[in-house]
Structures are given as structure tokens and as C-alpha cells.
Amino acid sequence: GAVVSQHPSRVICKSGTSVKIECRSLDFQATTMFWYRQFPKQSLMLMATSNEGSKATYEQGVEKDKFLINHASLTLSTLTVTSAHPEDSSFYICSAQPVLAGGTSSYNEQFFGPGTRLTVL
């Protein structure tokens, strides 16, 4: 089956530092990846859509200058949390949509990474 990896799985950092999280599709290509955030006992909240070769689109209320997204290849998207603060501590999860034959995306199928648990001290 389709596998998506995230790295690191867990990170603890000091307030004010930046943290980069990688999301990789291991056995398929993905022109579109999504970044979610989940606070304890809450649902996953879509943060942004990462598009290979173009700018990410952010959901309302998500600061694009704070959460930098780069999707430089068909198998890798990165999320950088800049100047992290304790309130950014959360579970960050990515998902990837496979590219089907013909170059279209499988809109109804997404594969999720295992998540990255960020703790900002």
C-alpha cells in the first residue's frame, strides 16, 4: 500500500527556534499534499495545501509567514514552524494524494503520515 513518512516523529525545541518537518510519499508521487494540526482532544484542522512547484494555499487563520511550506518535488513537502512558541505545540500530520496515470490526482484517496509531535518549551 501507499506509504507516507514524516520526520522527525517527535521534536522538542526552545521557544523562538524554527523547526522543519518533512513529509515524504515513499512509493508514489503526489502533486498535492496537505498539512494538518491536531491539539489534544480536538479534531484535525487543515492548515494548508501544498502544491508541487507552486505556492501553498493556507486556510483562514493560518499565518503563511509562520508556517512555511515548500513542495519542491513530487515526493517531498516540508513544513517549517518559524519562531516557535509554546502554543505551537501540537501534533502535525501530513497527507498525500497520489497522482494517477494521466497526471490527475486521486481526489478521494489520501494517505496520512504518522505525524510529528512538536513540543515547544
Report CA-CA distances (Å) from 55 to 51, 67, 109: 6, 12, 22
Nearest residue (CB) to another protein, 18 versus 59 = 59
Residues at the contact surface with another protein, assessed by CB under 8 A:
32, 34, 36, 41-46, 49, 91, 93, 95, 97, 105, 107-108, 110, 112-115, 117
* Exposure string for 19-51, b = 16+ CB within 10 A, e = fewer: bebbbbbeebbbbbbbbbbeeeeeebeebbbbe
CB of 54 to another protein, least distance (A): 14
CB of 16 to another protein, least distance (A): 26
Nearest residue (CB) to another protein, 70 versus 112 = 112
